[in-house]
C-alpha cells in the first residue's frame, strides 16, 4: 500500500459483542487465578477452587496460566482494534509504565519510533492513539488527507457532549471552519500579527519590566508564574479590549489555574487519558474542577462587561464582534463564545511565555550567543523602540528564536487529531476513528536535517539549506488546524525578547544548577529557575 490510499471501514457490532463476552470470561479466569495465588491460605476450601478444579499446590501452573491468559487478553484486544502494531501495553494503564521509565512521552515516542517506524500504536490508559512520526507521514495525514483528519481526537471531545460547548479546539467538524474563520478574521481585524497592535504589546512589556524586573533589582527573578500574566494580557486586549492589573485576584487565579494545569505533568494527562484512575486522586479531581470552575466565571464576567460597553459602530475586540454578529452565527451560543474566548486565552498564554523562558535560559547557558544578539540589537535598534519590522534586518536574532522553538519543542505532541476514514500511511492501516498523536520531536530533531539536533545552534539557520530547515521547523503544527495564533506569537516573541535584551544583561545566579532538561507535560517547559537582570 502507498501513502494516502484509503478505504471505508466496516463496523461489526456482533463480533465486538462476542469479543466482549470472551474478554469478560478471560478476565474472570485471570482474576480467580491471581486471587488463588495471593490468598491461598484463606480460600483453600472456597468454592472457587471447585469451580476452577485447580490444585492449589501447583502455584507455578496457576501463575503461568494467569500470565498466559493475561497476555492472550492483551493480544486479542490489540488485534481487535486493528491498529498498527506497537509495544506491549498493560491492561488499564496501557503504556504508562514504559512512559514513566522512558522519562517522558517524548522519549517514549522517539524510542519506539526506532523499533516500529513512523506509525505505531500507543495506549494512554484505555485509549489508543496512533503515533505519527516524520515530516512525510505528518504531511500525508494533515495536508494531503486533511479532509479526513481535521477533527480533534475522540479522547478530547467525548467529555464535551454538547456541540454548543466546544469552542474552537473541540469544535464539531461541521462548525469548526466557521468558528475558525470568525476567530481569525476578527483577531486580524483587531490587529493580531499586524503593526497596528504592536504598541499595545510594547506597552505590556514596559509594564512587566516596571512591575517585575525593576523591583527584582539584581536578585533572581523566577518568571514561571508572572510572565504568563503579560502574555495573557496581550490576548485579553484582543478578546476583551482590556488588560488586567497584575495583582487582580481573578486574573491571578485564572493564570495560576492555567499554569498548573498546562505544566501539571501526569496529573493533567490523567484528566484526558486516565479518567477512571485520575478520579481516584483528589488533587486530579480538584484540577478538573478548577480548570473550568475558576476560569469560566472570569471569562463570562469579561463578556458581560463588553455587553454593557458595546458601541455598535465601533467594535473594539473579538467579543464585540461576536455580540454584533451573533444572529448570523447561531451555532456560537453564549456558552460556546465563552469557551472560544477561554481557549484562545489559554492557547496564547503559556505557549508564548514558556518559549520566552526557554530563549532566556538558552542564552544564559550560551553567553557567546547572548553577546551576538545584543550586538545585533545595538546595531539595528539602538535605544529607540523596537518594531517587528526590525526582524528583517536581524537574521541572527531571528535564528535564535527559531532555534529556541525547534529545540524546546514545547507543544510536544501537537493537539491530537482524529482520522475519520481508514487511511494507509507508509503501508500501515490507520483505521477510521483512530486518534492521532504527532511526535513533533521526530521532525524537529531529525538528524538528517538538523546536525547535532540536541544542541542549541542558531547558526544552523544561517548556513546550508536554510529553506529545507525552515520548512521542517514546525512548532506551530501544519495543515488546516495549525496554530491560529502563529503570527501573534512570532511578533510577541520578537518584541519581548529584544526589549529585555536591549535593556538588560542576563545571567543565572552563582552556582545555579538548572539544566535544559525539560519538564514534559502538555507542553515541555524549562524547570523553574531564577534569572538575574542587570541594567545595561
- Which residue of this chain has its Cβ atom nearest to ligand HEM in the complex? 485
The residue among 477 and 526 lying less far from ligand HEM, judged by its C-beta, is: 477
Binding site as annotated, residues: 483
Residue 488 Cβ, how far from ligand HEM at the closest point, in Å? Answer: 5
Alpha-carbon gap, residue 437 to 418, rounded angstroms: 9
The residue among 488 and 520 lying less far from ligand HEM, judged by its C-beta, is: 488
Alpha-carbon gap, residue 76 to 16, rounded angstroms: 12
Going from the C-alpha of 512 to that of each of 218, 360, 520, 529, the distances in angstroms are 15, 14, 21, 8
Alpha-carbon gap, residue 118 to 133, rounded angstroms: 5
Smallest Cα–Cα separation from 132: which of 83, 79, 77, 172? 83
Residue 79 Cβ, how far from ligand HEM at the closest point, in Å? Answer: 30
The residue among 89 and 141 lying less far from ligand HEM, judged by its C-beta, is: 141
DSSP SS3 for 367: helix
DSSP-derived letter for residue 127 is E
Residue 16 Cβ, how far from ligand HEM at the closest point, in Å? Answer: 30
| Residue 327 burial (C-beta neighbours within 10 Å; 0-12, 13-18, 19+) | exposed
Contact 140, 103 (CB under 8 A): no
Going from the C-alpha of 149 to that of each of 275, 437, 478, 496, the distances in angstroms are 25, 11, 12, 35
Going from the C-alpha of 186 to that of each of 141, 170, 280, 492, 516, the distances in angstroms are 29, 19, 42, 18, 38
CA 100 to chain centre: 18
Residue 349 Cβ, how far from ligand HEM at the closest point, in Å? Answer: 8
Residue 411 Cβ, how far from ligand HEM at the closest point, in Å? Answer: 4
Binding site as annotated, residues for heme: 483
The residue among 7 and 196 lying less far from ligand HEM, judged by its C-beta, is: 196
Residue 67 Cβ, how far from ligand HEM at the closest point, in Å? Answer: 40
The residue among 69 and 489 lying less far from ligand HEM, judged by its C-beta, is: 489
DSSP SS3 for 284: helix
Counted residue by residue, the chain has a size of: 536
Residue 316 Cβ, how far from ligand HEM at the closest point, in Å? Answer: 17
DSSP-derived letter for residue 201 is H
Helix crossing, 59-81 with 13-43: angle to 10°? 160
The residue among 278 and 406 lying less far from ligand HEM, judged by its C-beta, is: 406
The residue among 78 and 259 lying less far from ligand HEM, judged by its C-beta, is: 259
Report strand pairing: 417-418 vs 151-152: antiparallel
Alpha-carbon gap, residue 380 to 392, rounded angstroms: 10
The residue among 67 and 143 lying less far from ligand HEM, judged by its C-beta, is: 143
Binding-site ranges for ligand HEM (CB under 6 A): 168-169, 180, 235, 344, 347-348, 351-352, 355, 410-411, 414-415, 475-477, 479, 481-485, 488-489
Residue 462 Cβ, how far from ligand HEM at the closest point, in Å? Answer: 21
Helix, strand, coil % in the chain, rounded to nearest 5 = 60, 10, 35
Amino acid at each position: 500500500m502507498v501513502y494516502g490510499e484509503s478505504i471505508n471501514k466496516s463496523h461489526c457490532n456482533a463480533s465486538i459483542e462476542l469479543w466482549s463476552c470472551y474478554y469478560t470470561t478471560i478476565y474472570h479466569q485471570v482474576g480467580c487465578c491471581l486471587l488463588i495465588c495471593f490468598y491461598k491460605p484463606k480460600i483453600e476450601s472456597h468454592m472457587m477452587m471447585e469451580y476452577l478444579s485447580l490444585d492449589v499446590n501447583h502455584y507455578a501452573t496457576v501463575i503461568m496460566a494467569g500470565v498466559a491468559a493475561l497476555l492472550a487478553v492483551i493480544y486479542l484486544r490489540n488485534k481487535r482494534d486493528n491498529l498498527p502494531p506497537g509495544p506491549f501495553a498493560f491492561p488499564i494503564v496501557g503504556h504508562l509504565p514504559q512512559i514513566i521509565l522512558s522519562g517522558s512521552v517524548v522519549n517514549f515516542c522517539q524510542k519506539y519510533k526506532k523499533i516500529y517506524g513512523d506509525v505505531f500504536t500507543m495506549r494512554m490508559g484505555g485509549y489508543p492513539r496512533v503515533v505519527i512520526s516524520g515530516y512525510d507521514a505528518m504531511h500525508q495525514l494533515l495536508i494531503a488527507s486533511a479532509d479526513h483528519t481535521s477533527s480533534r481526537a475522540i479522547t478530547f471531545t467525548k467529555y464535551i457532549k454538547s456541540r454548543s460547548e466546544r469552542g474552537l479546539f473541540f469544535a464539531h467538524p461541521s462548525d469548526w471552519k466557521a468558528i475558525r474563520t470568525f476567530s481569525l478574521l476578527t483577531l486580524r481585524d483587531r490587529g493580531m500579527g499586524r503593526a497596528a497592535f504592536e504598541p499595545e504589546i510594547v506597552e505590556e512589556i514596559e509594564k512587566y519590566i516596571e512591575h517585575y524586573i525593576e523591583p527584582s533589582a539584581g536578585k533572581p527573578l523566577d518568571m514561571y508564574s508572572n510572565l504568563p500574566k503579560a502574555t495573557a494580557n496581550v490576548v485579553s486586549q484582543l478578546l476583551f479590549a482590556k488588560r488586567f492589573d497584575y495583582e487582580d485576584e481573578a486574573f491571578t487565579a485564572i493564570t495560576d489555574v492555567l499554569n498548573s494545569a498546562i505544566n501539571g505533568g501526569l496529573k493533567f494527562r490523567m484528566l484526558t487519558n486516565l479518567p477512571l484512575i485520575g478520579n481516584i486522586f483528589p488533587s486530579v479531581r480538584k484540577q478538573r474542577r478548577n480548570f473550568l470552575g475558576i476560569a469560566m466565571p472570569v471569562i463570562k464576567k469579561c463578556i458581560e462587561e463588553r455587553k454593557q460597553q458595546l458601541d455598535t459602530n465601533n467594535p473594539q475586540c473579538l467579543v464585540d464582534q461576536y455580540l454584533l454578529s451573533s444572529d448570523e452565527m447561531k451555532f456560537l451560543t453564549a456558552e460556546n463564545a465563552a469557551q472560544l474566548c477561554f481557549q484562545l486565552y489559554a492557547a496564547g498564554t503559556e505557549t508564548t511565555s514558556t518559549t520566552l523562558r526557554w530563549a532566556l535560559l538558552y542564552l544564559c547557558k550560551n553567553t557567546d550567543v547572548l553577546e551576538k544578539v545584543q550586538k545585533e540589537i545595538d546595531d539595528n535598534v539602538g535605544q529607540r523602540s523596537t518594531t517587528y519590522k526590525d526582524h528583517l534586518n536581524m537574521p541572527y536574532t531571528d535564528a535564535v528564536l527559531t532555534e529556541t522553538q525547534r529545540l524546546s519543542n514545547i507543544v510536544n505532541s501537537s493537539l491530537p487529531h482524529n482520522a475519520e476514514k481508514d487511511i494507509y500511511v507508509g503501508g500501515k492501516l490507520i483505521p477510521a476513528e483512530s486518534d492521532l498523536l504527532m511526535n513533533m520531536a521526530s521532525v524537529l530533531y531529525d538528524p538528517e536535517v538538523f546536525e547535532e539536533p540536541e544542541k542549541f545552534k542558531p547558526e544552523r539557520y544561517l548556513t546550508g539549506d536554510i529553506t529545507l530547515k525552515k520548512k521542517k521547523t514546525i512548532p506551530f503544527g501544519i495543515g488546516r488546524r495549525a496554530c491560529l495564533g502563529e503570527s501573534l506569537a512570532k511578533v510577541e516573541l520578537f518584541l519581548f525578547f529584544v526589549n529585555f535584551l536591549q535593556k538588560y544583561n542576563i545571567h543565572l545566579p552563582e552556582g545555579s544548577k538548572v539544566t535544559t532538561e525539560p519538564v514534559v507535560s502538555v507542553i515541555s517547559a524549562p524547570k523553574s529557575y531564577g534569572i538575574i537582570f542587570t541594567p545595561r
